[in-house]
Amino acid sequence: MLAAFVRAFRTPDLRKKLLFTLGIIALFRFGSHLPTPGVSYPLVQACLAQSQALGSDQAGFLSLANLFSGGAMLQLSVFALGIMPYITASIIVQLLTVVIPRFEELKKEGQSGQTKMTQYTRYLTIGLAILQSATLVTFARNPSALFGPGCDNILTDQSMITIVIMVLTMTAGTGLIMWLGELVTDRGVGNGMSLLIFISIAANFPGALWQIKENKGWGTFLGIVLMGFFILGAVVFVEQSQRRIPVQYAKRMVGRRMYGGTSTYIPLKVNMANVIPVIFASSLLALPAMIAQFQQGASGGPAWAQWISNNLTRGDHPIYMIIYTALIIFFTFFYVSITFNPTEVADNMKKYGGFIPGIRAGRPTAEYLQYVITRITVPGAIYLAVVSLIPVIAFVMVEANQANFPFGGTSIIILVGVGLETVKQIEAQLEQRHYEGFLR
């Protein structure tokens, strides 16, 4: 991998793309530490230090959003929302493709339809950014909701004009991140949005590991690093695993030319849903906790709010772990059933003269594909649940901050997936420019 990067920097046009990508990443990280107008940066840093000293974790969707923003959300910076509104908008638009016939037609139109879908995603991203930034500013007016009890006011001014400026600034920051990601995709290397998520997560690694070393010493630190390499290898193995279904295309005459007669395969990944089920499960579990927080008062609130606060706000609670695992498994099957349609794949194969050896074309092919995808999704769902619970297990064993534990949950899956895909794209561009053939 390192040899590929060295060769890439030796190629002039590829070097320009890499340097452009690194420049966008530097700008993105700068915006992640630039405070929003109306926020006292020293008070925010003091609250963060107090939160880390007390070991308080932001469970659920809050920790996930802070992870995807590279820690910028809790610093209330210009890029506080990070890439999370765009991810949510993309998921919503993808799910609406199944519900709204117009979206399904756009999906089948090719490049022009995809351009319109991307435009709808941008509009929805801005709408979600306004909603999320307003929610974040509301939490900022009560800092204990973000940093735990004992944190003072972090806003220099709570007037309506200042709050509107904060909301507009964070929304504009989300729009700028979206534009930077598209610039990287067009003029840089790799998928821009994925790379920005990669950088946001990787930025938390040094601080999280150093915090473990400071709290637990060198022995625990080295043990977690070794365990991290093992988890990394296991995740790479599963992410690269796939079931290849052979497909044979029959020969056919078109005019005076013979077409077909080739063999290929349908690659079905073990983890077809990627990290989407984990995001869904975290978001859904965060809603009751958020509602219960608003219901609590001086007396502690109603009984149901107290039960939710006691059982669904701590990631190491058995009830939370059971519900979290069940939701991940459910959403894995749900998302795979939406994104992969065996009937549509079987019809397309039949249209172009393709068939699976030993399986009749049409309905038997669709049933066979459904049978295979169901068997593959079972270990994929269990794998996602196990990896997502690694931070919780680490918290129980070594009392590491599960919101920032680097080797587990969505962080390790995204890092492995984006890293492998980016390296593949760099190697593909190198092969286009340095093709040596079979004889060296």
Q: pLDDT truncated to tens, each residue of the chain (440 aa)? A: 566 667 777 778 888 888 898 999 999 888 888 888 887 777 777 777 766 655 544 444 556 666 666 666 677 788 888 888 888 888 888 888 878 888 878 877 777 888 888 888 899 999 999 988 888 888 777 776 666 666 767 777 778 888 888 899 989 999 999 899 889 888 888 888 888 888 888 877 777 777 777 777 787 778 888 888 888 888 888 888 888 888 887 776 666 666 666 788 888 888 888 888 887 887 777 777 767 766 655 455 677 777 777 766 666 677 888 888 898 899 899 888 888 888 888 888 888 778 888 888 888 889 999 999 999 999 999 998 888 887 777 666 666 555 556 666 677 888 888 888 888 888 777 777 665 544 44
Mode of pairing for the β-strands spanning 354-355 and 242-249? antiparallel
Whether the Cβ atoms of residue 89 and residue 128 lie closer than 8 Å to each other:
yes
Cα angle value 324/327/333 (rounded, 5°)? 145
Cβ distance 101 to 214 under 8 Å?
no
Give yes or no: residues 244 and 196 share one domain: no
Residue where one domain finishes, among candidates 203, 230, 260: 203
Question: What digits encode the pLDDT tens for the residues 306-324?
Answer: 777 776 666 667 788 888 8
Judged on CB neighbours under 10 Å (0-12, 13-18, 19+), 89 is buried
* 285 lies in the same domain as 347: yes
The answer to whether 94 and 187 have CB atoms below 8 angstroms apart is no
Please tell me the distance from the alpha carbon of residue 346 to that of residue 356, in angstroms, as a whole number. Answer: 10
Say if 225 falls within a structural domain: yes
Residue 76 backbone zone (phi > 0: left; psi -120 to 50: alpha; other: beta): left
Final residue belonging to a domain, choices 177, 203, 229: 203
- Examine the domain organization and report whether 217 and 360 are in the same domain: yes
Q: Same structural domain for residues 176 and 214?
A: no
Look at residue 332 and give its three-state secondary structure: helix
Helix (H) or strand (E) holding 115: helix 111-140
- The answer to whether residue 385 sits within a structural domain is yes
| The pairing of beta strand 257-259 with beta strand 263-269 | unpaired
Q: Is 13 exposed, middle or buried (0-12, 13-18, 19+ CB in 10 A)?
A: exposed
- Count the helices and strands in the chain (H runs, E runs): 17, 5
State the alpha helices, DSSP H only, in 188-204: 192-202
Q: Is 235 found in the same domain as 175?
A: no
Residue 251 burial (C-beta neighbours within 10 Å; 0-12, 13-18, 19+): exposed
CATH of the domain at 181: 1.10.3370.10
62 alpha-carbon distance from chain centroid? 14
Q: Specify whether 210 is located in the same domain as 140.
A: no
**What confidence score (pLDDT) does residue 405 get?**
63
DSSP assignment, residue 77? B
Which residue carries 């606060």 as its tokens? Answer: 309
259/170 same-domain check: no
* 34 & 145 share domain: yes
Closest among 38, 60, 278 to 159, alpha carbons compared: 38
Using only the alpha carbons of the chain, give its radius of gyration: 24
Q: What is d(CA 133, CA 146) in angstroms, rounded to the nearest whole number?
A: 14
DSSP-assigned letters across all residues of 260-327: ---EEEEEEETTTTTTHHHHHHHHHHHHHHHHHHHH--TT---HHHHHHHHHSS-TTSHHHHHHHHHH
Is residue 309 domain-resident? yes
One domain for residues 27 and 126: yes
Q: Which residue has 């709570």 as its token pair?
A: 158
Is there a single domain that holds both residue 213 and residue 315?
yes
Q: Is 290 exposed, middle or buried (0-12, 13-18, 19+ CB in 10 A)?
A: middle
Domains: count for the chain: 2
SS3 162: helix
Look up the domain containing 70 and give its range: 1-203
Q: Are residues 11 and 111 in the same domain?
A: yes
In a domain, 439, yes or no: no
* pLDDT at res. 171: 92
Name the 3-class secondary structure at 244: strand
Q: How far apart are CA 332 and CA 249, in angstroms?
A: 32
pLDDT tens-place string over residues 58-85: 444 556 666 666 666 677 788 888 888 8
Q: How many Cβ atoms sit within 10 Å of the Cβ of residue 237?
A: 11
The DSSP code sequence of 12-66 is: HHHHHHHHHHHHHHHHHHHHHHSBPTTB-HHHHHHHHHHHHHHT----THHHHHH
